[in-house]
Amino acid sequence: MGLIYLDACLLIYLVERHARWAEQVTAAIAEAAQSRFGISPLVKLECLVGPIRRGDPVLERAYVELFDQFAPLEMPGQVFLQAAQLRARFGLKTPDALHLACAQYHGCDAFWTNDERLSRASHGLAHNILQQSSCC
């Protein structure tokens, strides 16, 4: 597999060591070690809200250091136009539509998430990697 877009929830599970999901996210990334992983500015925003809100500079720094390990995927105007189409057609929330549009714009081979709504709207691009049978 080539380029994989990572949803913010997966990074949150990873960095904050979610009791149920962190190990599965780590294993999935390890299994796809030959792939490149990408994140958008929206992923960064969503990940940093919690640590900033809680006033936790150590956790905030952990996220920023993790971000550097992934390919940055910009969000030009075309991403927002595509997100509007996705939001209107599939009833996605704006952030979800933006994530999916960004993955599509950059020609990602997969969009890893834990959100079934994205799986249905993406026509096979999005995969809920936290379900045993749906990981790429």
Q: What is the pLDDT along the chain (136 residues), one digit of tens a residue?
A: 699 999 999 999 999 999 989 999 999 999 998 999 999 999 999 999 999 999 999 999 999 999 999 999 999 999 999 999 999 999 999 999 999 999 999 999 999 999 888 887 898 899 998 885 444 4
pTM (2 decimals)? 0.91
Q: Identify the pLDDT of residue 119.
A: 80
Range of the domain at 84: 3-134
SS3 for 113? Answer: strand
Q: Identify the pLDDT of residue 132.
A: 53
| Structure token pair of residue 88 | 């209107």
For helices 8-15 and 22-31, give the axis angle rounded to 10 degrees: 110
For helices 41-54 and 8-15, give the axis angle rounded to 10 degrees: 40
SS3 for 5? Answer: strand
Q: Are the C-beta atoms of residues 8 and 103 closer than 8 Å to each other? A: no
- Find the CATH number of the domain harbouring 49: 3.40.50.1010
Number of compact structural domains in the chain: 1
| Structure token pair of residue 15 | 């960095």
Q: Identify the pLDDT of residue 68.
A: 96
